Structure 1
């Protein structure tokens, strides 16, 4: 594991990190748009990063958000943690309404189809893949005990 990744994984578990992270999302999106996906804050911290493009469930407009993801074979696992916030993130509701989306990973644009994972499959991914990649997801789940964090698997189409 890269040294920056170790540091990021420790910082990610701190409650203040979520507040900072929320403020950095617009900066990260601008950075990725400006560099064509070559530079992102998450990548600088040694984490996997993509830009998700969804269709707004109410507006019908393209919505983009930079997200950390967990690689799983040729698929992308996204966790609707919202940093442990009270509500599900908007992008997750957009995927529920319209699972056809795209991701930009580095400089590649990939059309994907999202699938909400539940039950035993979700638990297996959570314990075996998700928290192994980013232990802070357990902390985010603990901060949001009134909701189950949504987990999506995005498959290239």
Structure 2
């Protein structure tokens, strides 16, 4: 797939890292709203969700469009922040308040998030790199370990 390889190459560039955090989330939110939760623009590259988490400091709901890797029983969410220095705010929110909600293909799903560590994170990271190789470029640019969360459905 030449298109997929081209998208992966472009998304690994420093220019993309500078521009994408300002453009991609805004476009995703608009498309998601206009299609009543059925589509995300970035899902043309990677599967995606809208995460509604509780602000770690504010306690207010925070909606964030995110790429994800679907897996049996849930999803992996990756705090790559497009290879920028800091952890994204949504990861702080999930650490403080692991119960959240995702919008997946037009369905709102209550979920619980868990930060992966050690061998479990290593196995998930290996799967993520096979799924979307640019994550390796993002990790190489930063000193922090990119956070990976496993998100599963919550009862109710």
TM-score of the superposition, structure 2-length normalised?
0.92
| Offset from partner CA, 1:64-123 (integer Å, 9 cap, x none) | 000000111121101111111111100000000010001001101111000000111101
Alignment pair present for 1:106 and 2:105: yes
Q: Structure 1 unaligned segments of length 5 or more: list them.
A: none
Please give the alpha-carbon distance, in whole angstroms, between the structure 1 residues aligned to 2:3 and 2:128: 19
**2:40 alignment counterpart:** 40
2:39/2:106 contact within 8 Å kept: no
Return the match for 1:153 from 139, 150, 153: 150
Q: How does 1:69-80 map to 2 (within 5 A)?
A: 69-80=68-79
Three-state SS of the structure 2 residue aligned to 1:78 is: strand
Instruction: Give the drift of 1:4.
Output: 4.2
**2:57 alignment counterpart:** 58
2:17/2:82 contact within 8 Å kept: yes
Runs of 4+ residues deviating >6 angstroms: none
TM-score of the superposition, structure 1-length normalised?
0.91
Three-state SS of the structure 2 residue aligned to 1:69 is: strand
Three-state SS of the structure 1 residue aligned to 2:38 is: coil
Q: Structure 2 unaligned segments of length 5 or more: list them.
A: none
Aligned-residue Cα RMSD (Å) equals: 1.4
Please give the alpha-carbon distance, in whole angstroms, between the structure 1 residues aligned to 2:73 and 2:12: 27
Instruction: Give the drift of 1:17.
Output: 1.5
Q: How does 1:1-150 map to 2 (within 5 A)?
A: 4-24=3-23, 25-45=25-45, 47-127=46-126, 129-145=127-143, 147-150=144-147
1:36/1:106 contact within 8 Å kept: no
